[in-house]
Each structure stands twice: as C-alpha cells, then as structure tokens.
Amino acid sequence: MASPINHGVVKLAVGEAKLSTIPIPKIRDGYLLVKTAAVALNPTDWQTVDEENPPSTPPLLLGCDAAGVVVEVGKGINKPWKKGDRIACIAHGGNEVEPTDGSFAEYILMKGDIGIHLPDHVSFEQGAAIASGINTAALSMYSPKTLGFQVPTFPIQQSSGEEKFVLIYGGSSASGTIAIQFAKLSGFTVITTASRRNFDMLKGFGADHVFDYRDPNCGKVIRELTKNKLRHVLDTIAVPESAQICADALSSSSDAGPLLYVNLLGIQNPRSDVESRFMLGYTASGERFVIEGQEWPASPEDFDLAKTFVALSEKLLEANLIKNHPIKLMEGGLGGILDGMQYLKDGKVSGVKVVYQVGDAL
C-alpha cells in the first residue's frame, strides 16, 4: 500500500489556501484511490478559494482536473478498473459535503464510473487537460436541461439534412475547444468567437467560422451568416458583454423552436424571449453537494449522462477524434499551484490550459 504521507493544496478560510500535509483519503464506495501524475487548473479553483462563505469543514482539498494511476478500487463500481490502470477524471474541489474530494494532491479519490481510461498515446498531462472539458461539453450541450443535443454514436455518422448552427462563445477557452469538437461530431456548423491570434487554432479544432468578439458588429454579423436561424448558444465566458453579443446573434424569432442560451456562471441573457439555462459540472457525480452556501441535490440523470459521455469519449480518444486543449506546463509541482491560481485570476492565461506534474505515478 502507499506511504501514509500525502500532500495537497487546501482551502483553510476565505481567500486562504496552502500546501499542507494531509491524510490519504479513505476510499468510499463508488470511488478509486489514484496516485496523481498531473493536474490542470480551472478558474473555479481560485474562485472557490475566494468564495465568501467561510468553509464549514476546513480544510477543503481543492482542484477539479487530474490524471494518474489507480492504486485501489472501491466497492460498487460498474466500470472495470484494476490497479495500475491509467485514468483521467474530474473531482469536486472545495466540496464541503466531502472535504477530501479534490484533485490537487498526491493521492486522490476519483469517481470510478465517470473516470476516463487513458489510451497509451495520451499523456497524463493531456489527460488532466481534457477531463473537465469533456464533462462540460456533456452537461452543457447534451442534457435535456441545457441545449438538448443528441449524443453522437460511435462510429461517427455523417449528418444530412438542413444545416444546423451552434454558437460557442469563447472558443479559445479550455471548455470551448472541447465543445467545438463535440459539436462538429454532432453535425453542427460551429461558429465561435475569440481574439484574432487564436483564429487559426480554433479552425484547427474544427470551428467553421471564427469572429473577433471585440468587433462591435460581432453579433449582427453572426446573425447574418446564419440567415437569422441561430437557436443554440453555449457561452463559456458568461459576462454581460458576452451575453449581449449572443443575444444579438440569436434569431429574432422563436417560431422554429426555443432560443436557448446556456452558460457556465448562471447569468441571464438580456432578451426576454431567450431561455437562459445554467449548468454546473459537479452534478456529474450524481451526489449532493454544497456550493456558495447553496445545497444542490443529487442528479442521477446527470450521472447517467456523464457515464454515457465518458464511454463515448474513451473511443474518440483512442481513435484520435478528439484532442486536448493546448497545454502550458508549469514548474513547481503541487507547490506551484498557488502561483498558478493567481496567474489565472490575474487574467494572464489565453488559449492554453495550465498543467502541473505531480511526481512519478508509476
């Protein structure tokens, strides 16, 4: 069995996080114990540290994205796992219901049925950079509570019929590049926005049309391109300015179906005829949790969707049909994560996923 020593980045109080010696988490039913090889950062990591409600059960292990090697398999997992398997998965960092959940540690727990078997040609660093993006794509585009797209089958079937449009606002975000790839696999004509320096990158991920969000006519141009037929939008940035551009791009009429605006931060679209929908990736666990003082009930349907989507994603990864967001590999291991979170908070990241290596998992 592993050494009893574990280190992790934890939240102690509002605005206070540190690298600490922590226990190796006790394995729970439905979970795997994993020795971490790499972790990736997300904006929610620093936002969790700064969240204004003091943690009721500190310390809270932080982090959402990781990849590593299975050390121990818990009971009640339907998916086949064994010791030594390579895995990538999401975790719920800063979870007050389960304070030892999170990914920023040498030994962590991962929910077995939504873990991703990593093919040999996908590195741990790449795996850490793709897990939450896959989960976000699943829940934001393929749930009936969000955009309601049909999950692609494998092998991928080429779609036919009338052209279908989707706008993925903020395509150069880590969630954006994964969403673009899945939308293409689902047969959509994909429109996205970014800074001009990221146009070529997004076309490489499959975007059909890329527009500069700084253009004051951005929304109007998208509406003209789509012949006033755009009904589906995923906004990965979710600020008032992005919501307005999306409002300008969406069709002026809902006669052909509801106008859907999905975002990751719970903001409302400024148009009253547009239905604003919010997704939160933590619901994929199928377990209740508390965030910002609000309790969220367990969502068995989101857990089922996540399982289906992970199974599809494993096949797509094996076939090289999806790829991770570009990586910026940072130095310092777990000890560098605090600086990395500040790096994200200061807005210094564009078009890359910040990744840290965490020792030797083998």
Q: 2 is written with which tokens?
A: 């592993």
Blockwise average pLDDT, block size 10, the chain, 362 residues: 79 97 97 98 96 91 98 98 98 95 98 98 98 97 98 82 94 97 97 97 98 98 98 98 99 96 96 97 96 91 98 98 97 97 94 91 46
Please state the pTM of the whole predicted model: 0.95
pLDDT of the residue at 293: 83
Q: Tokens 């719970």: give the residue.
A: 266
Topology annotation, domain 146-278: Rossmann fold (3.40.50)
Residue ranges per domain, the chain? 6-132+289-357, 146-278
Write out the E strands in the chain.
6-13, 16-22, 31-40, 60-61, 65-73, 86-90, 107-111, 116-117, 165-169, 189-194, 209-212, 232-235, 259-263, 274-278, 289-291, 294-296, 327-330, 353-357
Displacement of CA 211 from its chain's centroid (Å): 23
pLDDT of the residue at 362: 44
CB distance 122 to 134 below 8 Å: no
pLDDT of the residue at 291: 85
pLDDT of the residue at 15: 96
pLDDT of the residue at 110: 98
Within this chain, domains 6-132+289-357 and 146-278 share the same CATH topology: no
CATH class of the domain comprising 6-132+289-357: alpha beta
The count of residues in the chain is: 362
